[in-house]
Structure 1
Amino acid sequence: MKRILITGAAGFLGSHLSDRFIKEGYEVIVMDNLITGDMDNIAHLLPLEHFSFHHHDVSNYVHVVGDLDYILHFASPASPIDYLKMPIQTLKVGSLGTHNLLG
C-alpha cells in the first residue's frame, strides 16, 4: 500500500485530497496545526483504518515512522487576511516547513 503525507489537511485542498487518496487505496497520514484549518473537514476520515491525523506545526521538526511514497505540502494560512495577521508564521510554514518535510 502506498503511503502519503498531506500537510494542511484540515484546510480546503488538504481535506479534499485526503478524501481522494483514501478512495484510491492509499494510507493517508495528515498533519495540521489547526490555526486556520477545521477538523470538521476531515472528521469523517478519523475512524478509518488507513487514515491518521497528527496535530502538528510543520515549522517544527517533522517525523513520520516508516517510508513515504509522496508528500503533499499544503500547510499555510491561505488568505490575505491571514497573511496580514500572521506574517511570520506564514513565512515559517513555507520555508521551515518545506525544509523539515524534505528531512
Structure 2
Amino acid sequence: IHHGRDASGPTEAGQAYGRRVRRALGRLDTALAGLAPRLVLTATRAQLTALIAVRDAENFTLAAQRLGLSQPTVHRAVTQLESEAGRPLFHRMGKRMQPARAA
C-alpha cells in the first residue's frame, strides 16, 4: 500500500495482484455458473478447496490428509457441491476419483 499525502492506495504491484484476483474470480464464477447457476452464490471456500484437493489427490482420504481434515468432512463438502450441481463431479473407480468433465 502506498501512503501519500492526500490518500493511500495500492502500489503498482498491488494493482496487478488485484487484476489477477478479479480475473481468477471471474473464471471461477463462469465455471460454477456452467455447472449450476446457484453455485456462484452457494459454493463455499471450504467446498472449493476440498474439490480441488480431491481432484489433485484423486482420493478423498489423501485429499483430507493433505488438508488436515477428516475424510468425512472432505467427502461431505464435495457431495454438497455435487448435489447443488445436480450431477457427479467425479467418476468413482474404487478409491480412485477421476474428475468428470464438469469438474
- Which structure dedicates a bigger proportion of its chain to strand? 1
Which entry has the higher C-alpha Rg, 1 or 2? Answer: 2
Superposition TM-score tier, normalisation by shorter sequence = under 0.3
Compare the two structures and name the one with the higher helix fraction.
2
TM-score, structure 1 as length reference? 0.27
Q: TM-score, normalised by structure 2?
A: 0.27
Q: Greater RCO between the two (CA within 8 Å, min separation 6)?
A: 1
